[in-house]
Amino acid sequence: MADAFVTLTSEIQAKSPSISFINSNKGKPLLVADDYTFKLHKTTTSTKHWICTINGCAAKVHTDLNNGLKKTVGYHSHLREKEKLEVREAREKMIYLKVHFLTLNIPA
């Protein structure tokens, strides 16, 4: 019985989320961790404080100034935003392609 408890406990332990960054519609950086998005709330001398983009959600992430994960704080009060995140990433790719590769030939 003790062996089952040890195995269950080790499986439940939280893992550190992998983080990445995308730009918001306004060009601001957004932190992405486990299909949740966070916006930069404030920066101190050693830490960046990120808050969830969903109003009223208590989840937060702290990174160092080089965007290395320091810790996560709180829990999300909503489901993951996988589809919304995919739309953001697709929009960002289209804007990049438009700016860097497409030109319009409009007759004068």
Within-domain flag for 93 = yes
Number of domains in the chain: 1
Q: How many CA atoms lie within 13 A of 66 on its CB side?
A: 1
- Is the pLDDT confidence value at 104 over 50? yes
Domain presence at residue 108: no
Whole-model pTM?
0.68
Q: What is the largest CA-CA distance in the chain?
A: 81
CATH number of the structural domain spanning residue 89: 2.20.25.240
pLDDT in tens, 7-26: 333 333 356 778 889 888 88
Of the chain, the percentage scoring pLDDT greater than 70 comes to 80
Is the confidence at residue 44, as pLDDT, over 80? yes
- The verdict on residue 49 lying in a domain is yes
Domain assignment of residue 87, yes or no = yes
pLDDT at position 95 is 82
Give the model confidence (pLDDT) of 53-75 as tens digits. Answer: 999 999 999 999 999 999 999 99
Residue 83 counted as domain residue: yes
77: domain range? Answer: 18-101
Tokens of 40: 């930069």
Q: Is residue 3 part of a domain?
A: no
Residue 104 per-residue DSSP state: -
Measure CA 25 to chain center.
14
The residue count of the chain comes to 108
Is 11 a member of any domain? no
Average pLDDT for 37-52: 96
Residue type (1 letter), 88: R
39: left (phi over 0), alpha (psi -120 to 50) or beta: beta
How crowded is residue 38: how many other Cβ atoms within 10 Å of its Cβ?
25
% of the chain at pLDDT higher than 90: 39
Q: Give residue 46's pLDDT.
A: 96
Q: Is residue 89 part of a domain?
A: yes
CA gap 36, 47 in Å, rounded: 20
